[in-house]
Amino acid sequence: MHQNRPPGGGLEDLLALQFQDQLAEQDEQTQGLLKAIVDVVDAFGRLLGDGPVAEGAVYRENIRLIDKELKKAVLEHGVELIGVLGESAEPDTHLVSEVRTGTGRPDEEVVEVLQQGYRFRGRVLRPATVTVAAPEPKNRTEEQR
């Protein structure tokens, strides 16, 4: 007999128990993500608080640290980044904003990420907006030879 099987033992009871377990696990994951987001919200609050205005470089570094903290939080909860320099652009995950020639990079390779994309559990939340490499156009004289 299965250890988690409820005393009634029916299939419906077992499915209900499994469903409750799944809901509890999802709730726990959601709480973990929300706690991480609340930590980031607090960091922004401290940065924007009533204290003295930070020097530009210090302010920028604080923003960078908060950005890093937020990215870490979502990555730890299963979000994947889309749009990395050097990867090949794919129609399902990349929105090509510009095609750049003369880069010396392979055709369709991402050479600039304009906006990061994200995927969660195999679904694209937002495609990456990118610039990709393209081969140099051939001269008309070369094509006529």
- Packing angle of the helix pair 11-47, 56-76 (nearest 10 deg): 180
CATH superfamily of 79-145: Head domain of nucleotide exchange factor GrpE (2.30.22.10)
Residue 101 exposure: Cα atoms within 13 Å on the Cβ side: 4
C-alpha–C-alpha distance, residues 114 and 110, integer Å: 10
What is the number of other CB atoms lying within 10 angstroms of the CB of residue 62?
16
CB of 93 within 8 A of CB of 82?
A: yes
Mean pLDDT by 10 residues, the chain (145 residues): 58 87 86 83 78 76 88 89 94 96 93 94 94 83 51
Distances (CA, A) of 65 to 41, 57, 81, 96, 134: 13, 12, 18, 29, 35
Q: Is 97 helix (H, G, I), strand (E, B) or coil?
A: strand
pLDDT at 127: 96
pLDDT at 32: 82
pLDDT at 106: 93
pLDDT at 3: 54
Domain ranges (residues) in the chain: 1-77, 79-145
CB of 118 within 8 A of CB of 77?
A: no
